[in-house]
Structure 1
Amino acid sequence: MTLRIYLMRHGETEWALSGRHTGRVDIPLTANGEDEARQLGERLRSIPFQHVLVSPLKRARQTCELAGCGENADVDADLAEWDNGDYEGQTHADVFKHRPDWNLFRDGSPGGEMPNEISERADRLIDRLKKLDGNVALFSHSHFGRVLGARWIGSPVQMGQHLILNTASLSVLCYQHENMNLPAIETWNS
């Protein structure tokens, strides 16, 4: 079976709704986020997954469960969100007051992860994924998912700033013409 990776971002949280940087803080889904996760599950219902991997953070685990994929899910620490360090809980406007030219994908987060560190984490996960066959479900987060998409196609972390992921979105990573030398993005932010 050819590898197909179904990347899902978790459903809505209070901090996602308010635009606050949510990295390692372990917050739950909102009621709307729970509904989004169930709707995502409807989209996934007909897809047989050979592997299901989920971030250790509650919002991703809840999304996985509510989408109907939690029974056989394995927690994978590499799927955790970008560690926002000192910027955890702040909005872009908060950060721009002190660093008007700040860009997470270029500058990273003081006290948290730097672009090279999250790139290494994404590459480590990709190396493991490439050893799998069939349909693989990944339940993760916005910024890490964006980095994963960029790294899947061999682009630098900075490309992730151009790959938006909405809550409870579905993206598909695959190989063009089933050729492992041609990684591709089939669907993004659907």
Structure 2
Amino acid sequence: MVRHGETEWSAAGKHTGVTDISLTERGERVARSLAPRLADTEFAQVLTSPRRRATHTAELAGFTDVEIDGDLVEWDYGDYEGITTPQIQETVPNWSVWTHPTPGGETAAQVGARLDRVVQRVRAVDGRTLVFAHGHSLRVLAARWLGLEVAEGRIFDLDTATISVLGDDRGTPVVQRWNVGDSH
């Protein structure tokens, strides 16, 4: 799994669900640095969210033959799109996407259902799958891969332009590597 490169909003901590925002120059540079780290691995399928920040990260990482999967889009934050958690907490104390509703957006159950379909799709393929997507959606994907509730995605901190690897150990779903980037 690869989280897209940095955007202006991700750098500022703004919730970026449906807004189709481009990578920053730094985001593009770091996305390019993923190419040599992924080049020696063979993938049976490469999936990406349809959002520009994910598809562009895939391209810069050397993957142009990718399949768009709408289930990989980021959490729809509804009324909280484009604002930060501290801003939301000014009116909703202790708000977190993991524990509170997102007015006008998706519920945790809806996000979980989307990512459950991705898990099924990945497990149905013989070989490795590479996924390019977003912070919260990938954290939910990891939780669902492990059989955890959506809210448990909160324990998987994830930086931009990082690689994480999910797998199986003798039939048990596991995290093999997490949040690996140039500085990790």
TM-score range, shorter chain: over 0.9
- Structure with greater proportional helix content: 1
Partner of 1:94: 87
Partner of 2:30: 36
Q: What is the CA distance between 1:45 and its match in structure 2?
A: 1.0
Letter in 2 for 1:185: V
| SS of corresponding position for 1:104 | coil
Would the aligned equivalents of 1:107 and 1:114 in 2 still touch at CA under 8 Å?
Answer: no
Partner of 1:146: 139
Moved over 2 A (4+): none
> In 2, distance between residues paired with 1:130 and 1:18?
35
Unaligned runs of 5+ in 1: 1-6
- Percent identity of paired positions between Structure 1 and Structure 2: 44
> In 2, distance between residues paired with 1:127 and 1:111?
28
Q: What is the CA distance between 1:108 and its match in structure 2?
A: 3.4
TM-score for the superposition, normalised by structure 1: 0.93
Higher relative CO (Cα under 8 Å, sequence separation at least 6) belongs to 1
Whether 1:80 aligns to 2:70 is no
Whether 1:10 aligns to 2:9 is no
Q: What is the CA distance between 1:48 and its match in structure 2?
A: 1.3
Q: Residues 38-83 of structure 1, C-alpha deviation per residue, up to 9 Å, x if partnerless?
A: 111121011111110000000000000000012x200000010000
> Over aligned residues, Cα RMSD in angstroms?
0.8
Q: How many residue pairs are counted as aligned between the two chains? A: 180
Would the aligned equivalents of 2:85 and 2:96 in 1 still touch at CA under 8 Å?
Answer: no
> In 1, distance between residues paired with 2:177 and 2:106?
27
Unaligned runs of 5+ in 2: none
Would the aligned equivalents of 1:41 and 1:66 in 2 still touch at CA under 8 Å?
Answer: yes
TM-score for the superposition, normalised by structure 2: 0.96
Partner of 1:4: none
